[in-house]
Structure 1
Amino acid sequence: MMRLLITGCIICCCLHLQAQQVVTYETAKKKAQASFDNAINAIRNYQDDEAIRYLQEALRIEPNFADAYGQMGISYVQLKQYTNAITTFEKLKQLDSTALRPALTAYSRALAGNGRFPEALQVIDQYLAGSRNKSPNALKLKASYEFAIHAANKQVPFEPHNLGDHINTKDPEYFPSLTIDDKTLIFTRRVNGKNEDFYISHRDSSQWNPAADMGEPINTVFNEGAQQISQDGQMLVFTGCEFPDGKGSCDLYVSMKTKNGWTAPQNIGAPVNTRDWESQPSLSADKQTLYFVRETPDNGADIFMTHQLPNGRWSTPERLGPNINTPGRETTPFIHADNQTLFFASNGHPGYGGMDIFYSRRQPDGAWGPATNLGYPINTIDEDASLVVAADGKTAYFASDRTDSRGALDIYSFELYPEARPLPTLYVKGYVYDSTTHQRLTANLELTDLETGFTTALVKSNDSGEYLVPLPVGKAYAFNVNKKGYLFYSDNFTLPAQAATPPEKNIPLQPIIANATIVLHNIFFESKQYALQPASQVELDKLVKLMQDNPSLVTEISGHTDNVGSDKDNLLLSANRAKAVVAYLTQKGIAPERLRAKGYGETQPVADNNTEEGRAKNRRTEFKVINP
């Protein structure tokens, strides 16, 4: 916000006062002048609260002191006390309307700060009409007010709640981040107004416990900030500034959680970190994609993304497209656990003020859709940024210095209105193990949207075989687990919008040995038909890769039905379905002699045919190893 310091105009006799009772600096009593001078010194030291006290003192001595009213209104604007600012400016207007002229832009900001955008536009138009040189700041304010008026019917619900004394203190707290189970909160605190450190709180039922300093090796004598905890709580990515091993002024660092605590932070390194400024990381739920801000002298601040490579390093960052980045500044990206919704702040997209918060949805082709302004009063004429949304899709967290703050920036929560919500995201967790030895395994787990074919999550289980995979609700997914030397595991999740949390799922992987069999849960046919549905392609391509990676593998593809219909029809249907799968594999280059199609009809049930659930399990396609 540009500070309008009108004292130069006032002291240099630039005000043309109309009413005789008006007191200017030159005509004020010496005690009033002294108080006014003290106020100006306080303003120069960014002490607007102190300045207001001196100006009130000047007005007690000289009740018609126009200069004091003007400067006090500007200080109220600086403090975002817009109601007080409006009252002060209106008193000045009643005293002498010409004396208000140098403070018109501040007056317009006060009106806009209270949501009175049409009046704010009138005032800024008045200022521009009387100006020879059109101030860029005034023109930007005019554009913001016009945008707000145009969007007047889009005012959104917004009832923020301070997280309370267990989280917030007299020091600034900001950059909140949460795990997918909504039980761990990590945020940045600027301790005593100097060094930034990380604090952690755990939720006990519905209440956050007192936040604790994360301590070494995370917090150091250097400046740590702008962090994000991974959705599974096992990885912390953050910004480190002026670190000894830094490549630029600020770099991105990572620390991993182990049974012995957090590891010493490691610089992510090139090509992510450069001589430029890298900050404000946001990690996708599967920890495979990292979004961050890079600021360069030529392009300003833009949002970039990088992917984790198989060797653990990160790919060359790519700048997000024009639906996200503009010639202005884009900051504070946050990718929701659904991996489909990106929130960020920008002053380059049309908005209400300085920085506004926007969201964008991922399109079927993987690109980001148009940026949507979150609306008023979430966005205001002030700097609005750093929004995160919990996995439930509706609980949002942000930092603000609202009137009920504990002294500076505090962390607040509010319920995000439905149109802006990401997909509520649940999760499945457990461990992967060898079905014969029961040894825990590191394996790749992949979640794929069956409608779009987009890989929603790609997760690797840790050394103990443990994993956590996010599951956005309202969609159908193929869930595959694979490891070299094993048959892949196939499952399917179809989650309604009001789904409950899936149970823990421990996953057995079968070594590729004779007679090893898996059910292909993501091969789909219409009822009584044998034409493969498009959603089957995800799983079919997994089969192709399995056969390519194991060139000696000979298999049987078998079809099975429930007991509805005649034995003859079911046998024929199951055989034709098996043949359809074999035909797909041969079209993809798998040699026909490696594939056998067999229909078993209703002869090998795996569940009770007397229930719909049992019949659904019996209608299946299986993959069996004949020769490994």
Structure 2
Amino acid sequence: MNKVLLLLICLVTCAGLHAQVVTYETAKKKAQKSFDEAQMAVREYKLEDAVSLLQDAIKTEPGFTDAYGQMVITSVEMRKYKEAINSFEVLVRLDSASTRPAMLAYCKALSGVGRFKEALELVNAYIATNKVKSAKAEALKVNLDFAVNMAQQAVPFQPHNMGDSINTKDPEYFPSLTIDNKTLIFTRRVNGRNEDFYVSEKDDSSRWGPAVSIGQPVNSSSFNEGAQNISQDGKMLVFTGCDFPGGRGSCDIYYTLKTQEGLWIEPINMGAPINSRDWESQPCLSPDKQTLYFAKETPDAGSDIFMSQLQPNGKWGVPERLGPNINTKGRETTPFIHADNQTLYFASNGLQGYGGMDIFYSRRQADGSWGPATNLGYPINTIDEEASLVVASDGKTAYYASDRADSRGELDIYSFELYPAARPLKTLYVRGFVHDAKNINRRLIANIELTDVATGFNIANIKSDEYGNYLVTLPVGKDYAFNVNKKGFLFYSDNFSLKNAGDQDSSYEKNIPLQTIDSAAVLVLHNIFFDSKQYVLKPQSFPELDRVVALMKDNPMMTTEVGGHTDDVGSDYDNMQLSERRAKAVVQYMVSKGIEEWRLQPKGYGETMPVAPNTTEAGRAENRRTEFKILCFTY
């Protein structure tokens, strides 16, 4: 016989009876009346009232087994698992034969407190002795099999309530952060009715200030605004609006933009093809704002996660379902793409989990597809519904909503440290504005490209906004080539070496001056690479040189000098020779790409023209450079 059942029988024989067993048929009319009213309250989802009525029934008839059984089931519905377990244990002491109707609820209660192995043993015994196949028991068994296998690998999880600045008696949920971790926006259901957005800012001591309403025109008193996501630069907010005037379906996706004065504009429906007659919700922007992820109602599954990419004409493309590693025949919701643009978190009840909706993560593969989804594990995921997880740019601080025991009322927002295996890449950023080098007040809309130096893979390709502002994310662990270009100007070149960034926390503020194309203009090429004391171009140099080639092909009357420069390590003669050979290597590459040799003049300067002191490695690195100088230019 199953050892758990033996334990239950032992409880009966060892504990003795403390009250006479009473069923519904033998109970007093007063107890029957309380029980009947409790059943009606359950059907009307008035669970607190049901518990109170069941307590009245038990007070009238202390041995009322039907009341204890219903108490187990109702307590589980309320996710009060310890109370359910206590009620079941009383039921066992009263009459072990009457436990079967409440057995599956008891198993769920055991699961709710992490006692998966005991719950699985009981479910297996229940199935083995059941005359009719129970779909509910079979589904619970699947979840418990998974939980038992995973429970031995329980993950670290210590959530902290974000406190009174953020949380109130009203439910707060859907947290969203900017990349600098200084702005938190979330949804609050005010007085249990109207959903609005609230914002909290970090003060100088890194504490979250009191949350305030984001205000009109985004918040309204007539409609619910929810499931929002703020862009990494804090300039764009995407959100869900249901039953808005002019909406295309029950729920549509809207956006609003922040002006230079810090005000949000009137929300705009994202229109077709994003929105349709179906339910679209829970949008999330990629860090470069070029891809929109969202949940969409589907006829063949409850909901799936879709993506749409911004087209060159400024319109959003036709949404596409994410692949089979993400979407299932079940429901997938609450997508969140991290600032690293490589790690996706989402919720699903179609992937193997503990029960209900669990949170998963997937990594982007080299070919752009999404890898296998990984369950975040217990106790982050439980038998209940988990969703809407976001992770800060540091890659380890996570935020989610829960109604834990220390909540201020209902759902509160919590933070916790995400365990290492589930972390995205820590992500820094570079931000600033693009301007005319001759007039800092003339801001420019320019193309900005970020490239992985090692692979040549394009990480980001965006435009600065109408005020010249831009923000580009920089996941640590790689070296990046950074280029800014605009027709009629020399492109700007920079390099961010983050392969060995370690615990580096600083990001970059960099305003980009673009030089007009004219004689004597000098372009420093920061992404031309040679091995130490060598003059053979490394392949990582080719993307940058290809940009120079394109520039010269666009301007066929341009002639240039390619200048090589070194630091002061080594002899003057050796450095001069090395710089000349490197300049010639650059010229040879450009000639191989179709540029006439007469338009290119190689020249070595050795260590004679430093731009930084040679007393530090950083200074010497600046001095080791290739310059592109325009000698003659006519249109």
Q: Shorter-chain TM-score: what band?
A: over 0.9
Shift of 1:593: 4.3
Note the alpha carbon deviations across 1:386-414, whole angstroms, 9 max, x for none: 00111121111111122222222111111
Q: When the two structures are superposed, what TM-score results if normalisation uses the length of structure 1?
A: 0.93
Aligned amino acid, residue 168 of structure 2: T
Aligned with 1:254: secondary structure?
A: strand
Give the Cα–Cα distance (whole angstroms) in 1 for the partners of residues 271 and 35 of structure 2: 53
Alignment match, 2:503: 498
RMSD: 2.1
Note the alpha carbon deviations across 1:133-182, whole angstroms, 9 max, x for none: 43333222111111111112321111111122222222221111111121
CA contact 1:19–1:96 (8 Å) conserved in 2: no
Q: When the two structures are superposed, what TM-score results if normalisation uses the length of structure 2?
A: 0.92
CA contact 1:364–1:452 (8 Å) conserved in 2: no
Alignment match, 1:152: 151
Shift of 1:19: 12
- 1:434 is matched with which residue: 433, 436, 440? 436
Aligned with 2:509: secondary structure?
A: coil
Give the Cα–Cα distance (whole angstroms) in 2 for the partners of residues 260 and 363 of structure 1: 37
Alignment match, 2:167: 168
Matches within 5 A, 1:16-165: 21-165=20-164
- 2:468 is matched with which residue: 459, 465, 474? 465
Alignment match, 1:616: 621
Aligned amino acid, residue 33 of structure 1: Q
Task: Say which is worse superposed, 393-402 or 608-617, in terms of deviation.
Answer: 608-617
Aligned with 1:57: secondary structure?
A: helix
Note the alpha carbon deviations across 1:417-460, whole angstroms, 9 max, x for none: 12211222222222221112332222222222222333333343
Give the Cα–Cα distance (whole angstroms) in 2 for the partners of residues 447 and 135 of structure 1: 56
Aligned amino acid, residue 397 of structure 1: Y
Does 1:453 pair with 2:461?
no
Alignment match, 1:339: 341
- 1:584 is matched with which residue: 562, 583, 589? 589
- 2:483 is matched with which residue: 475, 480, 484? 480
Shift of 1:548: 4.0
Shift of 1:200: 1.5
CA contact 2:19–2:94 (8 Å) conserved in 1: no
Alignment match, 2:225: 224
Shift of 1:503: 4.5
Q: Structure 1: where are the runs of 5+ without partners? A: 1-17
Shift of 1:322: 1.7
Matches within 5 A, 1:350-499: 350-438=352-440, 439-495=442-498, 496-499=501-504
Shift of 1:327: 2.1
Identical columns (%): 66
Alignment match, 2:631: 626
Aligned with 1:73: secondary structure?
A: helix
Aligned with 1:448: secondary structure?
A: strand
Aligned with 1:600: secondary structure?
A: strand
Aligned amino acid, residue 415 of structure 1: E
Matches within 5 A, 1:208-219: 208-219=208-219
Structure-2 change in CA distance of 1:112 and 1:590 (3 Å)? farther
CA contact 2:301–2:328 (8 Å) conserved in 1: no
Alignment match, 1:13: none
Alignment match, 2:14: none
Aligned with 1:570: secondary structure?
A: helix
Structure-2 change in CA distance of 1:217 and 1:122 (3 Å)? same
Aligned amino acid, residue 571 of structure 1: M
Structure-2 change in CA distance of 1:206 and 1:572 (3 Å)? closer
Task: Say which is worse superposed, 446-455 or 308-317, in terms of deviation.
Answer: 446-455
Note the alpha carbon deviations across 1:254-304, whole angstroms, 9 max, x for none: 100112611111111111112221111111122111111111112431111
CA contact 1:184–1:200 (8 Å) conserved in 2: yes
Aligned with 2:443: secondary structure?
A: coil
Give the Cα–Cα distance (whole angstroms) in 2 for the partners of residues 364 and 229 of structure 1: 27
Aligned amino acid, residue 242 of structure 2: C
Shift of 1:71: 0.4
Aligned with 1:262: secondary structure?
A: coil
Give the Cα–Cα distance (whole angstroms) in 1 for the partners of residues 454 and 324 of structure 2: 26
Matches within 5 A, 1:175-194: 175-194=174-193
Shift of 1:468: 2.3
Aligned with 2:609: secondary structure?
A: coil
Shift of 1:70: 0.6
Alignment match, 1:8: none
Alignment match, 1:5: none
Structure-2 change in CA distance of 1:123 and 1:456 (3 Å)? same
Shift of 1:355: 1.0
CA contact 1:107–1:123 (8 Å) conserved in 2: no
Aligned amino acid, residue 142 of structure 1: K
Structure-2 change in CA distance of 1:548 and 1:64 (3 Å)? farther
Note the alpha carbon deviations across 1:28-50, whole angstroms, 9 max, x for none: 01111111112112211212122
Structure-2 change in CA distance of 1:399 and 1:592 (3 Å)? same
CA contact 2:19–2:63 (8 Å) conserved in 1: no
Shift of 1:115: 0.6
Give the Cα–Cα distance (whole angstroms) in 2 for the partners of residues 551 and 305 of structure 1: 41
Aligned with 2:99: secondary structure?
A: helix
Give the Cα–Cα distance (whole angstroms) in 2 for the partners of residues 485 and 255 of structure 1: 32
Aligned amino acid, residue 87 of structure 2: T
Structure-2 change in CA distance of 1:600 and 1:351 (3 Å)? same
Structure-2 change in CA distance of 1:93 and 1:534 (3 Å)? farther
Matches within 5 A, 1:590-605: 590-605=595-610
Note the alpha carbon deviations across 1:583-620, whole angstroms, 9 max, x for none: 33344444444434333333333233344333222211
Note the alpha carbon deviations across 1:497-547, whole angstroms, 9 max, x for none: 211313422221111111211111111111122222232233233323333
Matches within 5 A, 1:180-259: 180-204=179-203, 205-220=205-220, 221-258=222-259, 259=261
Shift of 1:490: 0.9
Aligned amino acid, residue 505 of structure 2: A
CA contact 2:19–2:62 (8 Å) conserved in 1: no
